[in-house]
Amino acid sequence: MSNISYSKLLDPVSDIIALMESMMAGAFGTTTGDQRECCKRIHAYSWGLHTLVMDVITSLGIENAATRPAVLERFNALNHPAKTALDNLSAGFDGPLGEEQQITIAHVMEALQSIERMMTSIWHYSMLRHDMLEYADDEFDGAVLIHRVRSVLGDIALPAVETGFCAIGDEEYLSYAFGEIAYNIRRHAGVDEVKINVQEFGYKTDIAILDRGRGFRATSDVTVEPFWQSREPDPGLGLGLYLARRHIEGCGGRLQLGSKPGKGTLVKISLPCLP
């Protein structure tokens, strides 16, 4: 099993701090008083996030993050207002931005999204390690899962999928799992289109997600082990597919993955459903 590189957790926050300091210094163009004040707030929240990440790394370890609810509370208390301030700055509420400033803010937003995604993955991973997750056994419209894939793929085309199956399981965690699968495609596959095929077999539904992209060398179950990554260097933690598999299995389903370099990747998910 691969080990996590803790710098991946700190680098996005460090980037935000450095970019905000450059913005305030006028490196990307003149800033108004209101813009500088907004940058100061984002800068302060980012230092708070840096301290929090350091606490997780040095004191708890990511395996134990979920055992301290205050970790998530602290993260939300810093992350949410930082996102709001960024949105206001980007929208020009504190004054119009120049082209370089807009590009800089876009980088800051991307970095903040990166640390938010990684902290969410760490929280899920920690909960699984300590058997803190309980999966609901509910019935819900399976189209929710297809919609989740479509929304995460963004500008990658997904042809219409004919489906009306009634899934059984935890809608929140299954939606998270399908989102992680789609995010891996968006980040790694390098394709313009993804295909999904849905087949129902009585009390089971198979969902096959296929991309004809870069692919990678898949070796048995190592591809869905924690911290495993198909290529290095990679800014992620290597937890996405692992968490997807664990959540799907927790809801009584199964995830299988096959991939070949240059040929693409096929992810097959089997879920319990009502006929």
- The model's pLDDT over 120-147, given as tens digits with 9 standing for 90+, comes to 999 999 999 999 999 999 999 999 999 9
User: Which tokens belong to 61?
Assistant: 């370890």
- The model's pLDDT over 50-94, given as tens digits with 9 standing for 90+, comes to 999 999 888 888 889 999 999 999 999 999 999 999 999 999 999
Average pLDDT, the chain: 90
Q: Where are the domains of the chain?
A: 7-129, 138-274
For residue 129, the model assigns a pLDDT of 93
Averaged pLDDT, 229-252? 81
For residue 222, the model assigns a pLDDT of 52
What is the value of pTM for the model shown? 0.88
Which class in CATH covers the domain with range 138-274? alpha beta
- The model's pLDDT over 153-189, given as tens digits with 9 standing for 90+, comes to 999 999 988 778 899 999 999 999 999 999 999 988 9
Cβ-defined contacts of 158-161 (< 8 Å, 24+):
158/193, 158/194, 158/195, 158/196, 159/193, 159/195, 159/196, 161/196, 161/197, 161/198
